[in-house]
Amino acid sequence: MNGLPTGLHLNQAARIVAQQFDRALTEAGGSLPMWLVLLSLASGQPATQRALAGTVGISEATLSHHLNSLEGAGLVTRTRNESNRRIHDIAVTDEGRNMFRRLRTAAGTFDAALNRGLSPQDQAQLADLLDRMVANISDRPRPVPPWAGVGASALPVQEHATPRMPGGLKNERQ
């Protein structure tokens, strides 16, 4: 043990990982909300605004703000549902699919750098430990991630001889 309480250590690690992942997505021309929305739509999750908000894990009002930006950038379209005019159906445009591919590559490259030096068994053990820790402190069921059902071919891991963190930062193990 390094002397830090587990919660503090996990919080610090999560903050650094989140900042670097945000940087990787930004360098690819996107953002975390953009990635989560496009990833959810690409995975075949429900494409109504309400269902999408639930899948991404944000409020409908916050999602509406993000969808305004994505629609303005030509990445998604929103249309009224024919059977219930109060519902908006969300669809990805060709430009949205292109952005998804760029962000998928950035996410795969980031994941490869993050997991460098970890065996598949290490990665599985880490995932199990994190799930158990969350279960220890939460009575909520484990959320289904937006990428559930996407399949390995949709989220390829980019192999690099010397993975670098976003922004040109070297991985400390290099």
**Pure H helices in 28-152:** 32-42, 49-56, 60-72, 94-114, 120-137
- Residue 27 banded pLDDT, cuts 50, 70, 90: very high
Q: What is the pLDDT of residues 118-132, one digit of tens each?
A: 999 999 999 999 989
Q: Token pair for residue 19? A: 């900042």
110 vs 113: CA distance, rounded Å: 5
Total residues belonging to the chain: 174
- Contact present, 67 and 90 (Cβ < 8 Å): yes
pTM of full prediction above 0.85:
no
Residue 78: its H or E element? strand 76-80
Instruction: Give the SS3 label for residue 138.
Output: coil
Q: What is the DSSP letter of 145?
A: P
Q: What is the pLDDT of residue 166?
A: 44
Distance CA 51, CA 48 (A): 5
Residue-wise pLDDT for 149-167, tens only, equals 554 445 444 343 334 444 4
Question: In the chain, what are the domains?
Answer: 6-138+150-159 (1.10.10.10)
Cβ(152)–Cβ(160) under 8 Å?
A: no
